[in-house]
Structure 1
Amino acid sequence: MKQWMGMTAGVGLFTVLCSAWGDEAPACIEVTVGGYKTPDYNCLSRQMGNDPQAAAAARQAREALDVPVERRPPNSVGLATPAATGVRMGDTFGTSVKPQRPASGQ
């Protein structure tokens, strides 16, 4: 009976320690080579990835990038805008088909 109680207590203690250890993130190790410190970026990423709000923020970012083509601004899909055309044409915008060019220096 004493042996059974000791074994049960040992298993219970082992379970509690394992669960406590499993919740804690392992420490990140920095390595110094030739005077330069290099952090473990995989470990840091894992530590930062446990934020429950990060998934919602990532989903919102993906939704913001998935705008249909017809709703995107013209300059993001490579179309000319009136402002860009006005800069390119100069003073002749709306009056001539030839862009304004500086006078030749002859």
Structure 2
Amino acid sequence: MKSLPTLAALLLSAALPWLAHADGCPEVTVDGYKAPDYGCLSQQMGNATNAAKAAKKNREAQDISIEKRLPNALGLSTPAATGVRMGNTFGTSVKPQQP
């Protein structure tokens, strides 16, 4: 009779992972803190047609031609950034105010 509770406990522990993730989104535990998969939860909450439209708009927004991109997005220096770096010596010296 002692094996019956042990068997029940074993079956319950084997079924817990499937019961805990009935919604289909995995949960990760790190150092005792649970972190849900927000991407999976967002897909469940969103409408598929709206998600496709939003993804298309995001791709279009990222496909900006190089002529229309900002200088700092291309890695170029701007006059404002140079002025901050040079301080009060901007335009008068080649050495910055503070190294």
Within 5 Å, which residues of 2 pair with 1:73-92?
A: 73-92=70-89
Shift of 1:90: 0.9
Shift of 1:80: 0.4
Within 5 Å, which residues of 2 pair with 1:16-95?
A: 28=23, 44=41, 47-48=44-45, 50-95=47-92
Whole-angstrom CA distance in 2 between matches of 1:65 and 1:77: 14
The percent identity for this pair of structures is: 64
- Whether the 8 Å contact between 2:27 and 2:37 is mirrored in structure 1 is no
Whole-angstrom CA distance in 2 between matches of 1:49 and 1:101: 51
Q: Extract unaligned runs of 5+ from structure 2.
A: 1-21
Whole-angstrom CA distance in 2 between matches of 1:43 and 1:100: 50
Q: Extract unaligned runs of 5+ from structure 1.
A: 1-26
- Bigger drift between 56-65 and 29-38 goes to 29-38
Whole-angstrom CA distance in 2 between matches of 1:42 and 1:87: 39
Q: TM-score, normalised by structure 2?
A: 0.54
Whose Rg is larger? 1
Whole-angstrom CA distance in 2 between matches of 1:100 and 1:33: 49
Distance 1:83 1:56, change over 3 A: same
- Whether the 8 Å contact between 2:88 and 2:97 is mirrored in structure 1 is yes
Shift of 1:51: 2.7
- Bigger drift between 28-37 and 50-59 goes to 28-37
